[in-house]
Structure 1
Amino acid sequence: MDDKEVEERFVAKKDDDLKTRVWIESKTIWRIAFPSILSRVTSFGMVVVTQSFLGHIGEVELATYALIQSILVRFMYGILIGMSSATETLCGQAFGAGHHHMMGIYLQRSWIVDGITATILAPVFIFATPILRLLGQEEELAVAAGPISLWFIPMIYSFVVSMTISMFLQAQLKNLIVGWLSMAAFVVHVSLSWIFVNKFKWGVNGAMAAMNMSGWIMVVGQLVYVFGGWCPNTWRGFSKAAFFDLLPVLGTMVLFHPRLNGWIHEKCHRRHCCFLHLPEYQWMGIYGLPRLPSCSMVVYTNHNLIFFLRQSLKSVRVSNELGRGNAKAVKFAIKTILGTSTSIGIVLWILCLVFRNQISYLFSSDEELAETVSSLSIFFAFAILLNSVQPVLSGIATGAGLQSIVAYVNLGCYYIIGIPMGILVGYIADLQVKGLWIGLMSGVVMQSLILGWFVWKTDWDEQVRKTSERLNRWLLKPPEEDNESPFDA
């Protein structure tokens, strides 16, 4: 056998090994991603179903619901999921390091911190009417928001439990149950909404009660799964240890996490499109509120549901491998997920460009509305392309425990670059809502570049060392090793 043949066989073997590694990594990725995507799609579907039933009750109720959902709920959700990012990072790293018994402690600590945060912010919903007046909303909508906003308070507390348990289960690759529970909750939600609104004629109260009951049914299912013995290694029961080291954990729960960006984007889009009544949208009036933004945000949010989850699963893959101390596996996982996510983004970008004139007819047969939405489709397309990279980069940094860097980058890019640029191009250059989109996307571009630079320059061997130090610093002995352990409740 000559040298050339030996070299060819070596290259072939190396290629086969690469294909095997990519295949294994891709299976792991989709094992995490699919249940999460299913959960997010059904959760978003519950919001849409409620909006649909409210739309049949009245235009004011529909507009008010959309207003609260886009401003107050997304603001609260962004804060809570940012706070919960510590659960995702710490549980993922602990699972990778084999510190399974610590995961239940991290989960309980997140319940304490997130629960206190939700309680502190609950007055936002109690005083929704005066808050919306201060934000410049129409009096009719502000007044109608008062009673509806109160229904969102129990929903916020369900977020506290559901989000953290989902991250806890996802970190140990047991999140398939979350997908099934979310599907069951969606079916229950549709049924209850039909019964309460159409049969019992309970109106707004019936629609909101159905949403709360469905959300808490999912929470109860998750708690039964965790407490019922399906997580024997990671859940050892309630413990006093959950109250220890809360301040260090709180330090990793960065308040303004990347998830707040979605709220900033939607809030600005809705406010500048409808609340300020830009000339090209004056024909819509206040009752046009749910229409154009709903059309555009359904497209944009459905895309973000997928890539938001790509960020979460990237965080899990990075944190798992960092916990195992395998820097090479971290870098390979990063390359695989970036390649997969970018490929999907390019496909969606092409489809959005090709069918940009038809997208609007999915939501309305109104010619004027369809033309307006079509004029924005090219911006949707490029937003999709940009967001196929940025969330993944954010997830990489989150998995490495660099939430503070992500937070500073996001705040700087949106408040210093994106929003000022949008106002400048939208009002000074008179491009109106198109200018706002350009400004916001410029923030995303800068955000992606900066995060990409951080990921490229990161010494992953050093991150492995830091992860090990952090986990060992907070490590408590499991009960079987120490009879006096603080795990004993």
Structure 2
Amino acid sequence: MENNGEAPLLTSTPGLKNAHFTGDVEDIPPIKGITDFCVQFGVESKKLWYLAGPAIFTSICQYSLGAITQTFAGHVGTLDLAAFSVENSVIAGFSLGIMVGMGSALETLCGQAFGAGQVDMLGTYMQRSWIILFVTALIMLPLYLFATPLLLLIGQKESISYAAGKMALWMIPQLFAYAFNYPIAKFLQAQSKIMVMSYIAAVALVFHTLFSWLFMLKLEWGLWGGALVLNFSWWFMVVAQMIYILSGTCGRAWSGFSWAAFTNLWEFVKLSFASAIMLCTNIVGWAIMVAIGFNAAVSVRVSNELGAAHPRTAKFSVVVVVISAFFVGVLLAILLVIFRHQYPAIFADSLEVQQAVYTLTPLLAACLIINNIQPALSGVAIGAGWQAVIAYINIACYYIFGIPLGLALGFGANFGVMGIWIGMLTGTVVQTLILFWICYRTNWDKEASMAEDRIRQWAGQPEEVVDQPKIY
């Protein structure tokens, strides 16, 4: 029987039972003993990596677009490297955090709706997110238009501020690509349609590398050539994914453009804003692409299972992703330490820059471990719909604790960059411990019931008021 490209509600994939929907027809039984744990760990790991593998690959490809441009900029000149680094990390990095955060509201709604079989609502949710993120991009436009005075205001060197400000003007098209790309990504992820995203990202990366070399180095267009190629690469991914969706491959999840997207916008904005605060306050974690893969995968697993009323499976998904993220983080940290003498030369010709990176390697290794676990736990929060509660925690840990500590160590104690980094990392550690505690104390049966209420609410059906998560 044909399904017009739509992910089947209950299907079997060799070696991965029902991976396209909620994972199991019924919730997993209570785990008794180490043998039961190991068996269920293997089963859940297959489902997690089925989602995380392509998500990690896609994230690496997308992150590499900017990283490759930055690498070529380092071979153009020191000022070019500094200008692009500042624009990419401060201007585009902040915008990316906001857009990813605003778009993550879609993970909760689409994931839980798909888990409950309410596939028809996914397209409407994505269109609402487009509207909100497009308006958000317009609001953030002055950040690009007035990047130079803003950078000067925060104490950046004049030469770097002017060069980065010019680069920011060239990168405005990327801002609006973010606004459309991330809702599309969450829409596809909720349905486990992640391989197509990987293919598109891989194609974009190959051509991006080729044309960046051609325009930036061979033709000597410098940063202007890099900006041109980077904008094109991001819009290529948006257009290619939209062609895939419009071709009918998503079945009932996409039934065309609808005026219903303009309803319930304020409620959607509130959830999106909470999501944005939750994610952009820990932007360091999003620089670690493996962690982004875990974040996306576990948010889909938890939202699908809660939507399908499988609280034990959702809870066990949390256990599996934390253990997996920890061991992957340790492996990456070990590799970083082993190659600490080699990798700095990839990013810059300057020996001074290379030495600075080498000095920070031990701290970076610790960051890799912590910042693999924290985004995974944030993915749990997204899947369960806890964005508002976690947003307050993130603000407290990052802005009230982490940044002041970093400034005190960096400037008060004269530890410089390392002191700032230690403070921010300490804030992330505190944040991670709190997320651990919340996951441990959560009543997952109540979360499944709240997911059912949330699905009714967004489908326009009468239901009880959806509260914040009950933590016991």
- TM-score, normalised via structure 1 length: 0.82
The 3 A distance-change label for structure 1 pair 204 and 448 is: closer
1:261 to 277, 281, 285: 281
1:46-96 deviation digits (Å, cap 9, x = unpaired): 112222333444432322111111101111111111111111111000100
> What residue is the counterpart of 1:78 in the other structure?
97
8 Å Cα contact 2:410-2:419 kept in structure 1: yes
Alignment-mate amino acid for residue 233 of structure 1: R
Pair 1:335 & 2:319 matched:
yes
In structure 1, how many angstroms separate the alpha carbons of the residues matched to 2:340 and 2:76?
A: 32
Q: Which of residues 30, 43, 55 is equivalent to 1:36?
A: 55
Give the equivalent residue in structure 2 for 1:389: 373
Residue in structure 2 matched with residue 5 of structure 1 by the alignment: none
Deviation at 1:141, TM superposition (A): 1.9
1:213-362 correspondence runs (5 A): 213-254=232-273, 256-263=276-283, 304-353=288-337, 356=340, 360=344
Which amino acid in the other structure matches residue 259 of structure 1? L
Deviation, structure 1 residue 150 = 1.5
Matched, 1:25 2:51: no
Partner of 2:195: 176
1:225: how far off? 0.6
CA distance in 2, matches of 1:196, 1:229: 37
**CA separation of 1:363 and 1:150: change in aligned 2, threshold 3 A:** closer
Counterpart Cα distance in 2 of 1:212 and 1:128: 18
Conserved 8 A contact 2:71-2:346: no
Distance (Å, rounded) in 2 between the aligned partners of 1:387 and 1:426? 21
Q: How far did 1:395 drift? A: 1.3
Of residues 402, 406, 411, the one that matches 1:422 is: 406
Q: Given the superposition, is the C-alpha separation of residues 425 and 54 from structure 1 closer, same or farther in structure 2, using an over 3 Å criterion? A: closer
One-letter code of the match for 1:28?
A: K
* SS of residue paired to 1:173: coil
Are 1:386 and 1:445, in contact at CA under 8 Å, matched by a contact in 2? yes
Structure-to-structure mapping, 1:452-467, within 5 angstroms: 452-467=436-451
1:96 corresponds in structure 2 to 115
Question: What is the aligned counterpart of 1:62 among 81, 85, 92?
Answer: 81
Between 444-453 and 194-203, report the one with greater CA deviation: 194-203
Residue aligning to 1:274: none
User: Which range moved further: 135-144 or 48-57?
Assistant: 48-57
Give the C-alpha shift of residue 261 in structure 1.
3.2
Residues 362-401 of structure 1 mapped to structure 2, 5 A cutoff:
363=347, 369-401=353-385
Deviation digits for residues 126-159 of structure 1, max 9, x if unmatched? 1112211212222222222333212211111111
Structure 1 window deviating more from structure 2 (200-209 vs 328-337): it is 200-209
TM-fit CA distance, 1:350: 3.9
Residues 441 and 148 (structure 1 numbering): CA distance in 2 closer, same or farther, change over 3 Å?
closer
Deviations 1:224-262 (A, max 9, x none): 111100001210111111111111111111254343234
CA positional deviation for 1:24: 2.6
- Shift of the 301–115 alpha-carbon distance from structure 1 to 2, 3 Å rule, reads closer
Q: Is 1:87–1:164's contact at 8 Å kept on the other side of the alignment?
A: yes
Contact conserved, 1:96 with 1:324, CA < 8 A, in 2? yes
TM-aligned CA distance change 1:166 to 1:383, over 3 Å = same
Unaligned regions of 5+ residues in structure 1, if any?
A: 1-12, 266-299, 478-489
SS in 2 for 1:257: helix
Does 413-422 or 54-63 show the bigger shift? 54-63
Q: Aligned pair 1:130/2:146, yes or no? A: no
Q: Distance between the aligned counterparts of 2:117 and 2:342, measured in 1? A: 51
* TM-superposed deviation, 1:19: 4.2
| Secondary structure in structure 2 of the residue aligned to 1:236 | coil
Identity of matched residues, %: 38
Counterpart of 1:166 in structure 2 is 185
Amino acid at match of 1:132: L
User: Following TM superposition, by how much is the alpha carbon of 1:14 offset from its aligned partner in structure 2, in angstroms?
Assistant: 7.4
Contact 2:111–2:190 (CA under 8 A) maintained in structure 1: yes
Q: TM-score, normalised by structure 2?
A: 0.85
**Deviation readout 1:163-189 (Å, 9 max, x if unpaired):** 111111111110110000001111221
In the TM superposition, residue 371 of structure 1 has moved relative to its aligned partner by 4.6
* Mapped contact 1:158–1:215 kept (Cα < 8 A): yes
Specify the SS of the correspondent of 2:186.
helix
SS at match of 1:98: coil
Code of the residue aligned with 1:380 in structure 2: it is L
Q: Over residues 83-129 of structure 1, what are the superposed CA-to-partner deviations in whole Å (9 max), with x where a residue is unaligned? A: 11111111000100000000111000000001100011111111112
The match for 2:205 is 186
**Amino acid in the other structure paired with 2:453:** E
Distance 2:441 2:116 in 1: 24
2: CA distance between counterparts of 1:374 and 1:193?
A: 27
Whether the 8 Å CA contact 2:74–2:349 is kept in 1: the answer is no
Structure with a larger share of its residues in helix? 1
Question: 2: CA distance between counterparts of 1:158 and 1:352?
Answer: 32
Determine helix, strand or coil for the equivalent of 1:137.
coil
Quote the Cα distance in structure 2 between the aligned partners of 1:301 and 1:451: 17
Larger gyration radius, structure 1 or structure 2: 1
CA distance, structure 2, for counterparts of residue 429 and residue 204 of structure 1:
37
Count of paired positions: 430
Aligned partners of 1:316, 1:209: CA distance in 2, in Å? Answer: 34
C-alpha contact 1:356 1:378 (8 A) present in aligned 2: no
> What is the SS of the residue equivalent to 2:156?
coil
Structure 2 residue 128 is the aligned partner of structure 1 residue 144: no
**1:367–1:78 distance in 2 versus 1, CA, 3 Å:** closer
For each residue in 1:415-445, what CA deviation from the matched residue of structure 2 results, as whole angstroms up to 9, or x when unmatched? Answer: 1111111222233333333322221121112
